[in-house]
Amino acid sequence: MAVPLRFSAQAPSSRLTEIIPESDRVEELSDSDDEYEDMGTATVEEQAHIAYLDSVRTPIRDTLETETSQVQDDTYGVILPYLEGNPNDFSLNAFGVPKLQREKHVAMLKMVLGDYPGKFAMMDASRPWILYWGLQSMTALGLDISGYQKRVAHTFSLAQHPEGGYGGGYGQLPHLACTYAAVLSLAMASGTEAYDSIHRRALWHFLGRMKQADGGFTMAEGGEEDIRGAFCAVVVLSLLNLPLDLPQDAPARKHGLTNFTDGLGSWVSQCQSWDGGISAAPGNEAHGAYAFCGLGCLAIIGPPTETLHKYLDIPLLTHWLSSRQCSPEGGYNGRTNKLVDGCYSHWVGGCWAIIEAATTTGVWNRTALARYILAACQEKKGGLKDKPGKHSDAYHTCYNLAGLSAAQHRYVYDEDINRGIGMGNLGAAYHWKTDGLYEGKNEVWDDGDVVRAVHPVFVIPYMAVYECRKYFEEKEGF
């Protein structure tokens, strides 16, 4: 039933004057086909959304106008119509929130894993990432990806460097980011052909060349040393059950290091910034994706119940992470004073499961996050995105869905789980489980909107993680 709009809700811009007085805003930056229109009435669902938004505490603001405060105001103007109403005209769930548009996202993802026109040659070095994002998104939506098994093994056999590690494609130099995406994709593809395509001994030597005297890892030979390297290296070492002794030709041995984990926890510790977040390297600005890398690294080198408190100031980090959730948008930004962006649904939202393993409680609003993802980040033509007005892509589809999974499921670290695997090197990450769905107040998703559980550290399906590790634990030699 349609009911008359309240005065404050006649248009997004009029509601904004309540939240942000005296600001100049753009009316609509959306690239969607259907512009948001003031229909003069609000449905029952829209009335409920407006009441919800009224209940959200608005940001504390000062009177100083800057370029960033202007851009933030513009962003409210773009996003609020999607939280108050349904400009995309999606079908709604029982809570009046757009349903997860599965069929549209699946259709988009099949294109992601298809052929590309010539101009995409500039993306060639990102090919391992595109495969990872596409495959992980498909599994999150419950698709069977076994049909891609042979293609994935073949693609990565060409991208593997003779001296170890993976590049973006044939003939490209090896890089830890490509190697991370390749190994996760091969683990998802699963099967002997995919597993055995990995030259583990050469890869072990490559990782040895990345290890630095101060405990961290570079992304490539002569490349930058940052926390992505620390995370990507231990993900690969752990999933493939590689020896933790540094190879004899590892340059770090000349500095007295003998093990891949030597100095690593302390190096991650140095990346915690003054405000509690985690940065790419010591002394840099904190960033949401680096927070996930730091936590993920620590959750692999030992039980998070021990390593997190040993190497990080967890109360300060919790404060920083909780400050990333934007109000009234509900999604996360990646840095202080930056805009909300759907990919941080995972990079920050995904931190909470790991934090909760060490603290028993997270300080995040799961339903506000899910509301932002479902209402504001679904592209009308399929795929998910940063925010209204942006285009969907494989990257934002993957990390919005991973963030939605984090919001919907309760991931628990339990050392009694999977006692049979993870007994050896870097085995802590094999003791996670899903303890059902989150059931809290103000839910905004139906059963049909639930995505599949994702391993909170490796960000691929649980089964892919456990089968891969088990295979390499049982395999003799390397």
| Residue positions annotated with a catalytic role | 287, 335, 338, 341, 343-344, 386, 393, 396
CB of 341 to Zn ion, least distance (A): 4
Q: What is the CA radius of gyration of the chain?
A: 23
**CB nearer Zn ion, residue 129 or residue 471:** 129
**CB nearer Zn ion, residue 93 or residue 405:** 405
Interface stretch with Zn ion, choices 122-130, 164-172, 209-217, 339-347 (CB under 5 A): 339-347
Interface stretch with Zn ion, choices 138-146, 164-172, 229-237, 343-351 (CB under 5 A): 343-351
Spell out the residues 6+ positions from residue 159 whose beta carbon is closer than 8 angstroms to its own: 127, 128, 166, 167, 168, 169, 170, 172, 178, 182
Residue 182: strand, helix, or coil: helix
Interface stretch with Zn ion, choices 7-15, 337-345, 458-466, 467-475 (CB under 5 A): 337-345
Which tokens hold the place of 303? Answer: 């039980």
**CB nearer Zn ion, residue 63 or residue 337:** 337
> Taking CB positions, which residue lies at the least distance from Zn ion?
343
**CB nearer Zn ion, residue 341 or residue 449:** 341
Rounded CA gap, 376 and 329, in Å?
A: 9
Q: Based on the number of CB atoms within 10 Å of its own CB, is 153 exposed (0-12), middle (13-18) or buried (19 or more)?
A: buried
Q: Please check whether residue 455 is in contact with residue 462, taking contact to mean a CB–CB distance below 8 angstroms.
A: yes
Rounded CA gap, 51 and 84, in Å?
A: 9
**CB nearer Zn ion, residue 262 or residue 386:** 386
CB of 396 to Zn ion, least distance (A): 6
**DSSP letters for 140-155:** HTT---GGGHHHHHHH
Is 393 a binder of Zn ion (CB under 5 A)? no
Which one-letter amino acid corresponds to residue 257? Answer: L
Interface stretch with Zn ion, choices 171-179, 209-217, 227-235, 336-344 (CB under 5 A): 336-344
Which 17-36 residues touch Zn ion, going by CB under 5 A?
Answer: none
Spell out the residues 6+ positions from residue 178 whose beta carbon is closer than 8 angstroms to its own: 125, 128, 129, 159, 165, 166, 167, 168, 172
**CB nearer Zn ion, residue 74 or residue 341:** 341
Binding mask 124-163 for Zn ion (x = CB under 5 A): ----------------------------------------
Interface stretch with Zn ion, choices 345-353, 381-389, 455-463, 468-476 (CB under 5 A): 381-389
Spell out the residues 6+ positions from residue 87 whose beta carbon is closer than 8 angstroms to its own: 30, 32, 34, 35, 36, 81, 388
CB of 343 to Zn ion, least distance (A): 3
Spell out the residues 6+ positions from residue 86 whose beta carbon is closer than 8 angstroms to its own: 45, 46, 92, 98, 375
| CA-CA-CA-CA torsion sign (413, 418, 420, 426) | negative
**CB nearer Zn ion, residue 183 or residue 394:** 394
**DSSP letters for 404-434:** HHHHHEEEEE-TTTTTTS--STT-GGG-EEE
Residues 28, 262, 386, 443: which binds Zn ion (CB under 5 A)? 386
CB of 211 to Zn ion, least distance (A): 30
CB of 332 to Zn ion, least distance (A): 10
- Please give, one letter per residue, the 3-state secondary structure of 38-74: CCCEEEHHHHHHHHHHHHCCCCCCCCCCCHHHHHHHH
**CB nearer Zn ion, residue 216 or residue 403:** 403
Which tokens hold the place of 130? Answer: 């595109």
Is 343 a binder of Zn ion (CB under 5 A)? yes
CB of 289 to Zn ion, least distance (A): 9
CB of 342 to Zn ion, least distance (A): 6
CB of 402 to Zn ion, least distance (A): 13
Of 349, 404, 365, 400, the C-alpha closest to 379 is 400
CB of 137 to Zn ion, least distance (A): 15
**CB nearer Zn ion, residue 343 or residue 373:** 343
Q: Please check whether residue 399 is in contact with residue 349, taking contact to mean a CB–CB distance below 8 angstroms.
A: no
Residues in binding contact with Zn ion, number by CB under 5 A: 3
Interface stretch with Zn ion, choices 208-216, 286-294, 379-387, 423-431 (CB under 5 A): 379-387
Is 341 a binder of Zn ion (CB under 5 A)? yes
Max CA distance (Å), the chain: 75
Q: Based on the number of CB atoms within 10 Å of its own CB, is 192 exposed (0-12), middle (13-18) or buried (19 or more)?
A: exposed
DSSP 172: P
Tell me which residues touch Zn ion (CB under 5 A).
341, 343, 386
